[in-house]
Every structure is written in structure tokens, then in C-alpha cells.
Amino acid sequence: MTPRIDPPLALLAELTHRCPLRCPYCSNPVELERASSELSEDEWRRVFREAAQLGVLQVHLSGGEPMARRDLASLISAASENGIYTNLITSGVLGGEQEISVFTAAGLKHVQLSFQDVTPDNNDRIAGLAGAHARKTRFAAAVRAAGLPLTLNAVVHRQNLDDLGEMIEMALALGARRLEVAHVQYYAWALTNRAALLPTRAQLDEATRIVEAARARLKGVLAIDYVVPDYHGVRPKSCMNGWGRQFLNVSPSGKALPCHAAERLPGIAFPSVREHSLADIWYRSDAFNRFRGTDWMAEPCRSCERREIDWGGCRCQAFLLAGDAARADPVCALSPDHGIVEAARLEAERAAPAFVYRRYTSPG
């Protein structure tokens, strides 16, 4: 039976891979796309118009660093004019008051600002950019001065998780209403650096305790999004809430992907928005239909009572760890490949190797 296909809810628009930061857990692919291949302003305008017609309600403007695009204000207008709710996901190091006031006038609704750690020293070491923390702090103030709601995104891992309590205080001090405690997910650059990033079980349990206490104390003041990282879980995450169910991603050069990491999967031709309409891509492309629903599943997923809850977990993780995107996500304790994840957890208990920083060449 062909599953019913609902219209997508959200579009992640990766406007560029350019970024002044060099975070060793960057979710961009290891082979970064160059500025010369990026979609033009007119091409993005068409993508937003088609997205709205398709039913997309929210656009997340991301990158790389989206503020590296000089036409960002115009792109915000283009999405807003089509009735789309716009969210800027930024590192906050490429601008301030002036840019924010232009974006607000263009219809921007919300800013998600990343921090790499609480202290300038460790923040700037992880980001690979001196002075980043100070610029981020000024940027947060500019967002609040413009009256825009602010979410702080704290990417956490074994080298900063112990500062979580202070991160919560920092979010309050900066006037954020939401804090995303985002555990690193192990794809792309983060997979290269996994042994330096995966937290220990003891670190994780302490972090979970801190979050639960803060949530109770700060109800109605600061919302904290927190999900236990899948490597330490028992069942996989419901990745993207299911392949091709709610979400699509467009890469800087216009490739349409069911999630930002999917490009690595072999044997799938991901369609370009330069050649196809978004409606064709969403409803009719092989790429978006490949893992839709449950028909593609093998055991143990096929007969699992959670098959329509976690949708088999993450296809990219199955490929990256077990070599086959159609297998169960190895983070699931029921997966025959789960030993790979157990080995990674043991690795986390040993000394951390040095970071491999993100850059425009393949790592050695």
C-alpha cells in the first residue's frame, strides 16, 4: 500500500557553507560546497514561493553562517511575503544591531544563536575563532534590543558538558526564552571527531539531572529543549520524524535532501531545485520516496511495535556505522550492529584525542 504523503511543515535552507567558525562537530558535509556553486537570490526566491505553495509553514535560514550571504535581508523578505515563519540560525559573529534591525523590518520572527561554551577561552577554542564569544554576547543584546525572541543553542559534548549549569545562567542573563541543549550528533565532522566529543555516561547523567532541576525551577521563564544523545539511549531517535514526512532540506547549491546528512548516502540521486519543482521533488522523486513509510524496513524494524514511532531511526547513521542505509539504526539495542555503538561508548571513557577542525579540504 502506498503511504499517504502529507505536505512538508518545514524547510531548512542552507544558504551557504561559508562560515568564519571552524567547529569540529559541524553538521555540514566534510566536502563543503564553494561559494561559486551557491543558489542565486532569484533561485532562493523561487524555492520559497514553491515551498509556501507546497504547504511549508516555517523556514530555518541556516548554513554555514547565513549572514555570510549579503542578500540575506532580501531572502527573509521573500519567505515572509509568502506567509512563511522565518527563523535565523546563526553564530552571531558577522553582524550586530544594524543587520538585526534590517532583518526585523524584513519580517524575521526569531533568532537561534549558537554558543560553543560559557567561558570565552573554551568557546573560542572550540569554535576555532578568537573573539567569537564577545561578538556573540553583543549579538544577543542586539536581538533582544530589537524585540526579537531569542533561543540560545548550546552544542554540548564531553569538552563542555560540565559547564551546563552555567550555560543555563548565561541563557537567562542574555534574555533568552528558550535554550536548546543540543548534544552533538555524530555525522560529518562530528563523526571524524567522535572520540574527542562523545560524553561519558557519568557526564550525561549529571547533565540530565541539571536540566530536570532547571526545568522545574524556570517553568514559564526559560524553556529547555533537551534530548538524551542517541548513542547513550536504548531506542533510536525518530530522525526527521520519518524520512520525507515533514521536512526538507535544500543545500547551498540547490540539492534537495530529506535531511542535511543524507547526501552521503550512495545510490540515491538527490534532485536539484535548479531542475525540478519542489512539488515534484517532495511527492514524486525516488530520493524522497526511498525510505518513506515502513515498506522498506527489514527486521528487527519490520515487526517492531515502534516502527511508526521512531521510523527505524536514522538512515544516515545506519549507513555511516553499518554500511547500509536500509538496516536498523545501530543505536537501537535491538540492532544486530549495536556492538559498534557499544565500542564508541567505551572509547568515550578514554582520553580525548585532539580536534580535527572544519576546513575546505578533506581531513587526512
Partner 1 sequence: MARLVVSEPVVLRLAPHIVFRFDDTRQRWIMMAPERLMLPDEQAVEILKLVDGKASVGAIVDSLAARYSQAPRELIAKDVTAMLQDLADKGCLASDAAH
Q: By CB under 8 A, which span of 33-41, 79-87, 233-241, 331-339 interacts with partner 1?
A: 79-87
Q: By CB under 8 A, which span of 11-19, 145-153, 203-211, 298-306 interacts with partner 1?
A: 145-153
- Amino acid letter for position 343: A
Q: By CB under 8 A, which span of 49-57, 118-126, 182-190, 342-350 interacts with partner 1?
A: 49-57
Residues 108-137 vs partner 1: string with x where CB under 8 A?
-xx-x-------------------------
220 binds partner 1 (CB under 8 A): yes
From residue 21, give the alpha-carbon distance in Å to each of 18, 126, 130, 132: 9, 9, 9, 8
Q: Is 72 helix (H, G, I), strand (E, B) or coil?
A: helix
If the CB atoms of residues 176 and 304 are measured against partner 1, the closer one turns out to be 176
b/e code 87-104 from CB counts within 10 Å (16+ = b): bbbbbbbbbbeebbebbb
Rounded Cα distance between 87 and 107, Å, is 10
If the CB atoms of residues 7 and 20 are measured against partner 1, the closer one turns out to be 7
- Tell the burial category of 249 from Cβ atoms under 10 Å away from its Cβ (0-12, 13-18, 19+): buried
Figure out which of the listed residues 22, 30, 41, 57 binds partner 1, where binding follows CB under 8 A.
57
Rounded Cα distance between 328 and 96, Å, is 45
**In the complex, what is the shortest distance from the CB of residue 149 to partner 1, in angstroms, rounded to a whole number?**
5
If the CB atoms of residues 260 and 358 are measured against partner 1, the closer one turns out to be 260
Of 168, 188, 166, 187, whose CA–CA distance to 178 is shortest? 168
Evaluated on CA atoms 317, 322, 323, 326, the torsion sign reads negative
Cβ–Cβ under 8 Å, residues 190 and 197: yes
Figure out which of the listed residues 20, 29, 120, 149 binds partner 1, where binding follows CB under 8 A.
149
87 binds partner 1 (CB under 8 A): yes
Figure out which of the listed residues 16, 77, 151, 253 binds partner 1, where binding follows CB under 8 A.
151
**In the complex, what is the shortest distance from the CB of residue 258 to partner 1, in angstroms, rounded to a whole number?**
18
Number of neighbours of residue 356 by Cβ within 10 angstroms: 15
177 binds partner 1 (CB under 8 A): yes
**In the complex, what is the shortest distance from the CB of residue 191 to partner 1, in angstroms, rounded to a whole number?**
25
Residues that bind partner 1 (CB under 8 A): 7, 9-10, 54-55, 57-58, 60, 83, 85, 87, 109-110, 112, 147-149, 151, 175, 177-178, 219-221, 223
